[in-house]
Structure 1
Amino acid sequence: MPVDAHALLAGLGLGLSLIVAIGAQNAFVLRQGLRGEHVGAVVAVCAASDVVLITAGVAGVGALVQQAEWALVVVRVGGAAFLLGYAAHALRRAVRLADAALDARTAPERGTLAGALTTALALTWLNPHVYLDTVVLLGSIAGTHGDDRWSFAVGAVAASAAWFLALGFGARLLRPLFARPGAWRVLDALIAVVMTALALSLLTGLGG
């Protein structure tokens, strides 16, 4: 099937508008990029997850997800619990000066690949907002393009891959700033705030 340029650009634009925002997943990818830890693997996991979710949405899974209210409740509670735990971890880093510096003499030990991948997967698959954005919203809008919906999907997937690559590998440009311990403390404090806010938004949405 030939690629429709209009649908592709529509998917690219909407995909970027949804993904380029401060969130749990982006905050983690940014921190990994700044630390230079398992960046390629983390970026690959995040991008591949979006491929699966976007494909599912375009294939029509979004309609089924909207009907499974009990599943959304379970995911909301589980996601909120995980985000609060991650927020507490980030806050603990923020108050420990020795854990804030990028300098090799004072920086924390390098995290394991398994730990990084587990966190990336959890921040992606335990976050209901990811399902609402990719499976439900992108899937619904893709459906308006009829036979060209897969061109829309290609654009959305391209937006996701480009963003994670830029965020993960472009973060190194900010390393001079994060050579100062104070910058790491501010970043971790902001991450803690973002994670907590997201968790509360999930819990308050249970009654909606």
Structure 2
Amino acid sequence: MLFKDRTAAGQVLAQKLADYANRPNVLVLALPRGGVPVGFEVAQALNAPLDVLIVRKLGVPENEELAMGAIASGGVRILNQSIVEQIQIPDEVIASVAAQQQRELERRETMYRGDRPFPDLKGKIVILVDDGLATGATMWAAIIAVRQKQPQEIVVAVPVAAPETCEEICSKVQKVICANTPSPFYSVGMWYEKFPQTTDDEVRELLNKATNNHQPLLF
């Protein structure tokens, strides 16, 4: 399955999440930036509020696409010990990369949320959405961050994922939906016809649009 773009991927994903439509305790949390266009379509289809959870990959110096870990809002930091040990990455290098990504995480928090507080997740069904899963490091950090907020259920939903990563995430949450698990996988972008960088302005525009469109359910 090749998705036209993130919007089309979100529409496909939304169909697979139809059981969660029009439920007052459902919240869609998208991982910026690429997960937001996908999450927007899911939230619209489910008539659920949309928000963001900021997560940053800790890339290996000289090979930043390779994740040695990730950080997430709420002070979460995870490390891929096998990568760290295999490449023998010193602690001071990890600390430096983490500090740099923490600054970017805080910048995005301010940019996307401003003074608006992080949503209350206690007792909620939280659907974590991204545009794809490669190593799963950022999603794992997101899961840990959400768990701290005592949700009723965590659902991970992505249009495309490496088969082994999808399987691994299945052991960490109540439900996982990977619409496409191609093998060999190569990269997330390989499975989209159009895969441009999502901008900060696009993220803010979609969040504002989702807020204006959402009709709270009164039961």
TM-score bin, normalised by smaller chain? under 0.3
If each structure's strand is expressed as a fraction of its own residues, which one has the higher value? 2
TM-score, normalisation: structure 1? 0.27
* Structure with larger Rg: 1
